[in-house]
Structure 1
Amino acid sequence: MMMAKQAPAASASAAGFADPARTPRMRVRGIRKTFGAIQALRGVDLDLWPGECLGLVGDNAAGKSTFTKVLAGTYIADEGTIEIDGKPVRYSGPAEARERGVEMVYQDLSLCDTIDVAGNLYLGREMRRGPFLDKPGMQRGARDMLKRLEIRIPNVGAKVAQLSGGQRQAVAIARSAAFNPHVLILDEPTSALAVAEVEAVLALINRLKAKGVAVVLITHRLQDLFRVCDRIAVMYEGTKVAERSIGDTSLEDIVRLIVGEGHRA
């Protein structure tokens, strides 16, 4: 993957993300989700703005995975509303969420190791020539996708199983980012990557922000938040307990909030 020099993330307030005159890319209010006797989400509110990266953090069972799966259509909320570009939406599954510009890259990447890079990039969106797959067309399209995102994978005909961890992560992100999403949710995109590969993924996130995508980054690598995020939202026991502009907080502050101390919005 191509390396790019990291620029420090601007604070959300400095970038004007919270301007009440602007419409959020996504506005979420009062999201609740229960699994049997377990209240996984207890009324979560959040705004996502074009061209920003929001870090979403919390301890295990804090509710962040359930919340993002609601945003991506994998789970249907019991209560609450979602708006995209000011318009109320209610989708019944991930396919409808994708139609409205919401994509999610899961931690397991959901790649098919036995298919080549081009095939993975077009998985579920295959190009056809009559009854047959248009493999040359998909390979041309794959090269264009990777070029636009400044991702360097020399051979789009290579099987995904042959790629490095960072290249696999890049393919998974590219598959979601190449079709012009409004919102892109990344679940632990830098876990288990080498240092150079982490740098490349963070650089890719910055490039997506520059294209106006609202990025949600779930990570336990808290130091990465201060490299690419504009805001950080902290979840605890199914609620959003705090939201901080990156310039108004510190690593120590975020750690305290994650473990349940100092819950003040």
Structure 2
Amino acid sequence: MTLTRRLAFLALLALAACGAPRASVPPAEIGALFAPNFDDSHPVFFPGRRPARYPVHGIDVARFQSSVDWNTARRNGVNFAFIKATEGGDLLDAEFKNHWRGAGQAGVARGAYHFYYFCTTPEAQAAWFIRNVPRGNMLPPVLDMEWNPFSPTCATVRPPGQDVRDQMRRWLNIVTAHYGQKPIIYTTPRFYRENELGKFDDYEFWLRSTAKRPSETFPGERWTFWQYSSTGIIPGIVGKVDLNAFTGSRAEWSQWVAARAR
């Protein structure tokens, strides 16, 4: 067994076992990476620009994906999943526990994300996330930063960029101290631009860009994950799902997981 494969084996074995019954993954598949067998109901990328050039793909899910056969999804290319855990200071996603358990049992590398609200302090939101997301053997936590036009109470609350970045730092620092690893920042083109998130050059980014490559939408920004579609279709998942790619090769993925999973 090569060093890279050994690292992947150990990391994914731990991820699958944490906080759930024994993983249902056959021993021969532990640590394996599967090529994406994805479709898209609304594809926008042309040859030479397609996310398929990246070998490691995954998804993000929330309560909208209420039916997921994680074993089938994994064998069709879902190598990682970011799972919505919390929102604001008091909302727990209705499917978080099911998704967390199912992904773990299937050997999918899993991480949890928090959707930020500007009507609650970052301290309260960090505490709520920590209360609901188990510590140990997980991908880095994610802070989801975007304007929320749907909240009946927070839709119009949009602080200036300096305040936004201050609140983010406070949340990030608390969560880093608890989980022992720095979170990833997820964001959209508009939010990134309006709040100068390029100043977070000491954090990894997960960038949403569903019509263009990240280099076009976020000029000069590096990224670890790219959310390239919200209309993906994957065997084992009922309905549409967000599709994501990891920035590097298979070997770089294994090294990244071994270094970042805690």
Same-fold status (TM-score > 0.5) = no
Query: Normalising by structure 2, what TM-score?
Result: 0.37
Structure with higher RCO (Cα < 8 A, 6+ apart): 1
Query: Normalising by structure 1, what TM-score?
Result: 0.37
Larger strand fraction of residues: 1
